[in-house]
Amino acid sequence: MTLANRLAADEVVITAWSGVPDALTVELMAAQPFDAVTLDMQHGGHHEDSVLRSIVPVKRAQKPVIVRIPVGRFDMASRALDFGADAVIAPMVNSVEDARRFAAAMKYPPVGERSWGPTFGLPRYGKTTMQAWLEESNRRTLAFAMIETRQALDALDDILAVPGIDAIFLGPSDFSIAWSGGKTVNSTLEDMMETVASVAARARAAGKFTGIYVIDPSIAGRFVKMGYRLLATGSEGQLIARGAELQLGAIKNSIGQGG
């Protein structure tokens, strides 16, 4: 099933979050039991060449590839799709105009203005023909607009109404900074949780998919109950640190050095 089909079926999809611009590292990430892999160009180290090359091992693992582009780089949204990405997350979509520009880059006419040229993407989908690619792409590839600011919150309903915007993705850390007036960064800030839930509810009511970044795994269930279905987590650094902690803890316990 495609990412779009899984979310349409109201499944919870958990994506790893890759910031290391190396296809071998991404291959290792794709081999883990995540449902998808996200390549981060905004705060991670991924760039155009690493995205082009890193999509291959993820597709080989038969998993969806999501790319988060840098702020305002809607041209890279089209590039990511041409490389074979299944979805694109655009940060700091704060207005209807931002949403329209993003959707235009993501969708072929008549919905958007995406230029034809899936030089790498089409062959990576095997037997897909050019005509099938044209007919399927607007449905199969998903445009996630990030909601991270009070400005975006105020414009949310209008953003959701933009043709070609398939989903929202809430960035809880940036949202907490905006919510607190720059006083704190706290992805689980209790004071904003009612609003975080309302964002998901409004998106789902508009027929859009919902995603969120999960820093604290213990709160994931709460996000799912709110209506979020794409859960992003597990950067390379986090996974290495957690794996090392578990491995060393088990060894030290075995040799009598455990705490």
pLDDT in tens, 102-133: 999 999 999 999 999 999 999 998 777 999 99
Q: Is the peptide bond before 109 cis (omega within 30 degrees of 0)?
A: no
Catalytic (active site) residue 47: no
Q: Is pLDDT above 60 for 11?
A: yes
Mean pLDDT of the 129-151 span: 96
Question: Taking all residues of the chain, what is their mean pLDDT, rounded to a whole number?
Answer: 96
Please identify which of the residues 5, 31, 32, 43 carries the catalytic annotation: 43
- Structure confidence at residue 259 (pLDDT): 55
Query: Would you say 236 and 29 are in contact if contact means Cβ atoms under 8 Å apart?
Result: yes
- Structure confidence at residue 234 (pLDDT): 87
- Structure confidence at residue 27 (pLDDT): 98
Q: Is pLDDT above 70 for 240?
A: yes
- Structure confidence at residue 1 (pLDDT): 85
- Structure confidence at residue 126 (pLDDT): 78
Q: Which residue has the tokens 């790893």?
A: 16
Mean pLDDT of the 242-251 span: 96
- Structure confidence at residue 66 (pLDDT): 98
Burial class (CB in 10 A: 0-12, 13-18, 19+), 123: exposed
Q: Is pLDDT above 80 for 258?
A: no
> Can you read off the two tokens belonging to residue 89?
């997350």
- Structure confidence at residue 226 (pLDDT): 98
- Taking only the tens place, the pLDDT of each residue in 178-214 is 999 999 999 999 999 999 999 999 999 999 999 999 9
- Structure confidence at residue 130 (pLDDT): 94
- Structure confidence at residue 128 (pLDDT): 79
Q: Is pLDDT above 60 for 76?
A: yes
Q: Is pLDDT above 60 for 42?
A: yes
Cα gap 87→223, rounded to integer Å: 21
Mean pLDDT of the 237-250 span: 96
Q: Are strands 65-68 and 87-90 parallel, antiparallel or unpaired?
A: parallel
Residue 198 sits at the vertex; the CA angle it makes with 89 and 152, to the nearest 5 degrees, is 45
Question: 51: closest CA among 32, 71, 37?
Answer: 37
- Structure confidence at residue 189 (pLDDT): 93
The residues pairing with 180 across neighbouring beta strands, listed in sequence order, are none
The residues pairing with 169 across neighbouring beta strands, listed in sequence order, are 146, 211
